Amino acid sequence: MTVMVVGLGPGDPDAVPIAAVRALEREGPLLAPALDPALAALLPRAPEPLGPLGEIPDGAVVAAPDAEALRIARALPGAETLPPRPALRARVIGAGVARLAEVGAHLRRECPWDREQTAATIVPHTIEEAFEVAEAVAAGDVPRQADEIGDLLFQAVFLAQLLEESEAIDLGSIADDHATKLVARHPHVYGDAVAADARGVRGLWERQKRESRGQGIFHDLPPGLPALAYATKAQRRAAAVGFEYPDVDAALDKLREELGELEAAPGGRELGDVLFACVAVARMLGEDPELALRAAAGRFRQRVERAAELAAEAGERFEELDPGAQLGWYEQARAAPGASPA
């Protein structure tokens, strides 16, 4: 026999699945973490306290609310679960998002600030949160990524709440419709189409969108996008119909050409061409130019701050030094242990 981990639902005594109660009648030790008394009263017998996961006896049944049951199951890869692991994970995600949606609805009813909001007033915050996610990703800060993704998720949930108030649309239908759309746009996964690599996948995606909406090459290209995002998206649209460089070397050759033209005729037009060519190189490298530029700006900031610290340690004020001396401290900061050479 093996250990079985049984999910008791979201933790509400009124929402315990009947299949869970029946599974707990199986022979063997019944273990559980500390449970709400009302939830524990539904179990067919009093459970023993759950100790260290590595000491669970063979044949035991572990009962816990879904979120904790999933955590326990992940620590016990050989254990059976009820429901099966994918369904247990889905229930935990559904309950978490449902709780977030309920918090949003409650704030909408009870908080004076939230009651005043409209989609137009919320969207600027949504954009800000998206950039904070990008910054956390560029920094490689996993805990911060989780926190910022949570902030961005709540923005989507709150916008769905506003839509629900004015239309017969809610978060559940939005999510379900989007899942259906994703399935339709991935025929290489859910159908018979073939995509050999990521570029092929993007081509299928773009073709699906064009065909479903009956629009031209540059469909869904909002003019209000930041310039870097606009350039990236425009190039993706063109690439979807085959109009792109064959490889990174060709993109680099174009960048060198544009740099030469900028040197010959310095100005905004040629500078724009250089930046646009840089976006093409980023795409051919499989890099997001926004994240690459953010990371470079972050490195620059860290080095300048360190250069100022080094100057201060030598009794000098960085802001009072001439450019040559500042550059000298900057190069020292760049060469310091732990600093990126790029």
In the predicted model, is pLDDT for residue 150 greater than 90?
Answer: yes
CA angle 108, 112, 113 (to 5 degrees): 80
Q: How do 80-82 and 61-64 pair as beta strands?
A: unpaired
pLDDT over 70, % of the chain: 92
158-172, 198-212, 244-258, 327-341 — most confident range: 244-258
pLDDT at 171: 93
What SS3 state is found at 122? helix
CA distance readout (Å), 117 to 240, 303, 330: 38, 41, 46
Q: How far is Cα 59 from Cα 256, in angstroms, rounded to an integer?
A: 68
- What pairs with residue 6 in β-bridges? 63, 82
pLDDT in tens, 17-56: 999 999 998 888 999 999 999 999 999 999 999 999 989 9
